[in-house]
Structure 1
Amino acid sequence: MSTPQTPMPQAPPPAWEAGGGYTSPIPVVRTHLGHALASEWTKIKSVRSTMWTLGVYVLLVLGIGLLTGLVIAGTSTDLSGEENTLSLGFFGLLVGSICLITLGVLTTASEYGTGLIRTTMTACPNRGRVLAAKALVFFLLAFTITLVCTTLVAFAQTALLQGSGARQPTGAEWLKGTVGVSLYLALLGLVSLLIGSILRHSAGAITIMIGVVLAPLVLALFMFTRSLEKVRTALFEYSIPNQLSVFYSNSLTRSGPSGWDPLWIMLGVAAVAFAGAWALLNRRDV
């Protein structure tokens, strides 16, 4: 005798309204910024470019920072008493900033190259929300990674250079050399992200941002005539390398930005770039 088989559970029939309309059993949830943030976080952590660029960034910041401290500690170099032990972290961050620039551009521009931006905008028609989510996710990621790296390098260099004659940093210098410079570099990467959104071309945006970082200082080095002295000074004062050095109380010039000024300057640049990217994103076709 055959045993009776248990009937398979069947999906509930679709709900039909009295007027003949169909009502989906799937609840409709109003989307918000949290959904866009979750989507952008999933994208940025699942692509290989993020792992490669951030991995190289960490290696450069930690490697150059620790190597500089080891070289100074292993020689008889007597550092000036006015130079604190955190100032050597400048070199690793300057080189590593290229990685943040690259990742920032790729976060937006690469979607236009692959066509994924069409899917993104279909899932979230609110374009401003998409741009805000990309900016927020990238900024927090860049700031966190940079803060961890700068803090580790700062502790290591302070321990290595205790007997080198370098001045021990104050609490304010610790804050600027870790939190301050991390905010500055995260904003620099954010500007790169916004330039990538404006240009929609990865190679072009990366080239422009690298030029913004390096070109002013290089041009200033070749301006020898007296008539260009004011231009030369301005290029020195407001170049990215000089503004980075300000966070370590070791400015390349005696005038120009000081204290927390570089952070406010970069914040203003990021605000202008964000407004431009927002306006163009809403006016242009995807």
Structure 2
Amino acid sequence: MTAPQPPQQPAFAQAPQPGQPGMPPQQQWTGPAAPYVYVSPIPVRKANLGDALRSEWTKIRSVRSTLWTLGVMLVLILGIGLLAAGVVSGTDTELDSDASPLGLGFFGVLLSTICVMTLGVLTISSEFGTGLIRTTLTACPDRARVLTAKAIVFFLLTFVLTLVATTLVAMFDSAMLADQWDGEFTGAAYFKATVGVSLFIATLGLVALAVGALLRHSAGAITVMLGVVLLPLVVAMFMFGESLEKVRKALFEYSIPNQLAVFYGTDASEAASGPTGWEPLWIVLVVAALALGGAYTSLVKRDA
């Protein structure tokens, strides 16, 4: 009779030793189980901003809110801009030198700010509402990197789409109304009505993103941003006293609609003593920097 054999231990393949072929040079085997460890075929490296950018781009393009808000934004800019030019071209109205056809794109862009601000808020506040922010911060513990990636992806996306839309409106409006306008189109006017407007709108969206990070509530942050755009004009309209004339004038001149009108060179913006030229862009850049600074501080110090 054969004696019972002891149970066999599971066989382990000996891991390649440092310096042998097949071992990644950056991995070192330490500890008592060093000769028998699992070697992952995936290279190990430290995450960087590029990884965060790819993650945020995947998230922002895969949610329905991005498609709807940016789709409505394009419809408003293109639809209202081209419709206004079509109505004017269908009449015998002669435009004087101060009423540039490029200014007809103002109304569509002004309405589109609601879409841009809404998307800016939802870019980060929706993650707080669903709890996805915990997963995001677990995958990328560097909270400043997360907010930076969100801001870069959102800014570039809105800037490019706004630039394409405003450029198309400027080209078609100037072509349709060239015979009815006795002025001259300049490169500077085109540049401000396209690139300048797009930078202003995208930066205003960054302010909305920062407010969303501070409040962490979609409805509340969107309400605050709508108040920033509309409240100064509404308050100014009810200031009738002479003692409040300076305050009333400042509210009109530094309101978002009037600052946006500066890029189109309308009569109201030229006659006002408020911001001119590229000053509205510098103003909104300073506001965005302050708001993002508060958002960084809030995200780093507060719990998710």
Aligned counterparts of 2:212 and 2:81: Cα–Cα separation in 1: 29
Give the aligned partner of residue 196 of structure 1: 212
1:96 maps to 2:121 = no
Give the aligned partner of residue 247 of structure 1: 263
Please tell me whether the aligned partners of residues 100 and 181 of structure 2 are also in contact (alpha carbons under 8 angstroms). Answer: no
1:75 maps to 2:97 = no
Task: Read off the aligned partner of 2:136 and give its amino acid letter.
Answer: T
Q: Tell which deviates more after alignment, 21-30 or 164-173.
A: 21-30
Residue 236 and residue 17 in structure 1: after superposition, are their counterparts in 2 closer, same or farther (change >3 A)?
same
Give the drift of 1:88: 0.8
Aligned counterparts of 2:39 and 2:125: Cα–Cα separation in 1: 37
Give the drift of 1:13: 5.1
Give a deviation string over 1:193-246, Cα, whole Å, max 9, x none: 110011000000001101101111121122121011000010011000000000
Aligned counterparts of 2:31 and 2:224: Cα–Cα separation in 1: 61
Please tell me whether the aligned partners of residues 81 and 105 of structure 2 are also in contact (alpha carbons under 8 angstroms). Answer: yes
Aligned counterparts of 1:13 and 1:174: Cα–Cα separation in 2: 69
Task: Read off the aligned partner of 1:157 and give its amino acid letter.
Answer: D
CA RMSD of aligned residues (A): 1.5
Residue 13 and residue 110 in structure 1: after superposition, are their counterparts in 2 closer, same or farther (change >3 A)?
farther
Give the drift of 1:80: 2.1
Residue 224 and residue 14 in structure 1: after superposition, are their counterparts in 2 closer, same or farther (change >3 A)?
farther
Provide TM-score, normalisation by structure 1.
0.93
Give the drift of 1:57: 0.5
Give the aligned partner of residue 173 of structure 1: 189
Aligned counterparts of 2:97 and 2:241: Cα–Cα separation in 1: 34
1:28 maps to 2:41 = no
Partner SS for 1:163: helix
Give the drift of 1:99: 0.3
Aligned counterparts of 2:81 and 2:172: Cα–Cα separation in 1: 9
Give the aligned partner of residue 66 of structure 2: 50
Task: Read off the aligned partner of 1:285 and give its amino acid letter.
Answer: D
Please tell me whether the aligned partners of residues 246 and 259 of structure 1 are also in contact (alpha carbons under 8 angstroms). Answer: yes
Give the aligned partner of residue 224 of structure 2: 208
Aligned counterparts of 2:39 and 2:131: Cα–Cα separation in 1: 31
Unaligned regions of 5+ residues in structure 1, if any?
1-11
Please tell me whether the aligned partners of residues 89 and 153 of structure 1 are also in contact (alpha carbons under 8 angstroms). Answer: yes
1:225 maps to 2:238 = no
**Residues 261-272 of structure 1 aligned to structure 2 (within 5 Å):** 261-272=279-290
Aligned counterparts of 2:208 and 2:236: Cα–Cα separation in 1: 23
Larger radius of gyration: 2
Please tell me whether the aligned partners of residues 83 and 166 of structure 1 are also in contact (alpha carbons under 8 angstroms). Answer: no
Aligned length: 275
Task: Read off the aligned partner of 2:288 and give its amino acid letter.
Answer: A
Provide TM-score, normalisation by structure 2.
0.87
Give the aligned partner of residue 151 of structure 1: 167
Please tell me whether the aligned partners of residues 84 and 166 of structure 1 are also in contact (alpha carbons under 8 angstroms). Answer: no
Give the drift of 1:85: 1.6
Task: Read off the aligned partner of 2:296 and give its amino acid letter.
Answer: W
Give the aligned partner of residue 111 of structure 1: 127
Residue 13 and residue 214 in structure 1: after superposition, are their counterparts in 2 closer, same or farther (change >3 A)?
farther
Residue 130 and residue 224 in structure 1: after superposition, are their counterparts in 2 closer, same or farther (change >3 A)?
same
Unaligned regions of 5+ residues in structure 2, if any?
1-11, 16-28
Give a deviation string over 1:38-92, Cα, whole Å, max 9, x none: 0000000000000010001000000000000001111122222122221111000
Give the aligned partner of residue 157 of structure 2: 141
Partner SS for 1:223: coil
Give the drift of 1:29: 1.2
Residue 73 and residue 13 in structure 1: after superposition, are their counterparts in 2 closer, same or farther (change >3 A)?
farther
Please tell me whether the aligned partners of residues 65 and 88 of structure 1 are also in contact (alpha carbons under 8 angstroms). Answer: yes
Give the aligned partner of residue 257 of structure 1: 275
Residue 284 and residue 85 in structure 1: after superposition, are their counterparts in 2 closer, same or farther (change >3 A)?
same
Q: Tell me the percent identity.
A: 60
